[in-house]
Amino acid sequence: MKQKVIFMVDMESFYASIEKAKIINNSGRPLVVSGDPERRSGVILAACPIAKKHGVKNGERMWEAKQKCPELIVVKPHMQDYIDVSIQITEILEQYTNLVEPYSIDEQFMDVTGSQKLFGEPYEIAKKIQDHIRLETSVHARIGIGENKVLAKMACDNFSKKNKSGIFWLKKDTLSETLWLLPVEKMFGIGSKMSAHLRNMGIRTIGQLADLPLERFKKKWGINGQVLWMTAHGEDYSPVNTTSHEGSKAIGHGMTLPRDYSTLDDIHVVLLELCEEVCMRARKSNVVGKTISVSVNGASFEVKTGFHRQTTLFEPTNYVMDVFHASHKLFTQFWDGQPIRRVGISLSNLSPDHELQLSLFDTERDKKLDLGYVMDKIREKYGVTSLVRASSLTKASQMVERSKKIGGHYK
């Protein structure tokens, strides 16, 4: 059987690269994308390689970045542009294989095992893809190569990004000379807490982790321990899956509010709007759900307040008012009366909407569900805000403002 060849294709400074491509004579100019360029406390979402050479990092505050690089060009994010380019890159990758799996907006797996007769050896294919993406989008791609997804991912994260060519092939028979020399936190799947835990055990490198017997990991962490051990040994049996983002276990929406919400009337407005968004997504996926969850964070940074509670309905639904009444009941039951700054609603315990059983208790159920699908068709044709509830015309409403955003940032 022919050995698999998997690519992890990662876009360098994705947001910043797209913004730089819009600027004429951008060579040599440091640029960052910030959620709020007007505020000194705004956070850097993406920094171009030139800005990074000045020490600017993703996630740091604007004033810190400006101190390091006073000549910094700061631009607002344009999320729709980034989504459009991400889709364009997926279409480019699909010209080389039909097995492409988006991992994030700027990372994608692809299986090129069966593409080599058409496009050449793995390095040759990787270079063609790099050139193709740069020509079409002006974005530089880094590519990690491995016989499975975990090797390709670690090749990209730890070696391709530091390699001048932007391409690295991480092979199992060279792990002792490459991956195992790295600090343990560089391994895929290890966060800061696990890293600290492993270091307390005397495990400093990935190689030291790999040297320990599998049974020790299974005894301590069960299946998660086995996955850690397998990752250290470059083992992964998950295929590149073109439907990996289908079949969600839950559908949810959260909202960070622009100010403290302290009255029930105001809070009920955003609760209803979140239920509207969740139910629209459920209908788009043709599912109904039985379990409704409400998450709330208080406005105080000093004293953490809030709650996460859920309730299960007698029958599954994707009708807005069913979900709202359950959410409203949970909220009023567990809210401590303190101002809130973030609220989220989710619908889980999902099932296909065409498998609904006949109801003896809600004779209007089918009409209510059908109404939601009709409203969706109108919104799809005329825009999300073409049909809004009266409560969304109040000052507490966030619907119109949210319709202008993607992922919390303006389109």
| Residue 10 among known ligand-binding residues | yes
Mean pLDDT of the chain: 88
Quick: pLDDT tens for 201-256.
Answer: 889 999 999 998 888 888 888 888 899 999 999 999 999 988 765 556 788 888 88
- Assess whether the region 176-232 and the region 250-410 belong to the same CATH fold: no
CA pair distance 159, 169, nearest whole angstrom:
9
CA pair distance 377, 358, nearest whole angstrom:
25
Is residue 34 scored above 90 in pLDDT? no
The active-site residue, picked from 19, 107, 147, 273, is 107
Work out the average pLDDT over 258-273: 91
Band of the pLDDT at 259, cuts 50, 70, 90?
Answer: confident
CB-based burial label for 345 (10 Å; 0-12, 13-18, 19+): buried
Q: Tell me which amino acid residue 215 is.
A: E
The number of residues making up the chain comes to: 411
Q: Which CATH architecture has domain 1-170?
A: 2-Layer Sandwich (3.30)
* Domain at 250-410, CATH homologous superfamily: DNA polymerase, Y-family, little finger domain (3.30.1490.100)
Ramachandran angles phi, psi of 148, nearest 5°: -150, 175
Quick: pLDDT tens for 371-393.
Answer: 888 888 888 888 877 888 888 88
Strands 31-34 and 73-75: parallel
CA pair distance 386, 177, nearest whole angstrom:
60
**CB contact at 8 A, 7 and 17:** no
Q: Where are the domains of the chain?
A: 1-170, 176-232, 250-410
Q: Tell me which amino acid residue 53 is.
A: K
CA pair distance 105, 218, nearest whole angstrom:
34
| Eight-state DSSP code of residue 400 | H
Band of the pLDDT at 56, cuts 50, 70, 90?
Answer: very high
| Eight-state DSSP code of residue 343 | E
Highest CATH level, class, for 176-232: mainly alpha
Work out the average pLDDT over 64-73: 89
Token pair 């609904």: residue: 356
Least confidently predicted of 7-21, 160-174, 176-190, 342-356: 342-356
Work out the average pLDDT over 9-15: 94
Band of the pLDDT at 406, cuts 50, 70, 90?
Answer: low
| Residue 36 among known ligand-binding residues | no
Query: Does the annotation mark 136 as catalytic?
Result: no
Least confidently predicted of 362-366, 376-380, 395-399: 362-366
CA pair distance 16, 37, nearest whole angstrom:
14
- Please list the residues that pair with 44 across neighbouring strands: 34
CA pair distance 23, 133, nearest whole angstrom:
18
CA quadruple 49, 53, 58, 62: dihedral positive or negative?
negative
Comparing C-alpha atoms, which of 51, 11, 15, 45 is closest to residue 31? 51
**CB contact at 8 A, 232 and 209:** yes
The contacts of residue 370 (CB under 8 Å, 6+ apart) are: none
Number of other CB atoms surrounding residue 25 within 10 Å: 6
Number of other CB atoms surrounding residue 197 within 10 Å: 15
DSSP string, 95-138: TT-S-EEEEETTEEEEE-GGGHHHH-SHHHHHHHHHHHHHHHHS
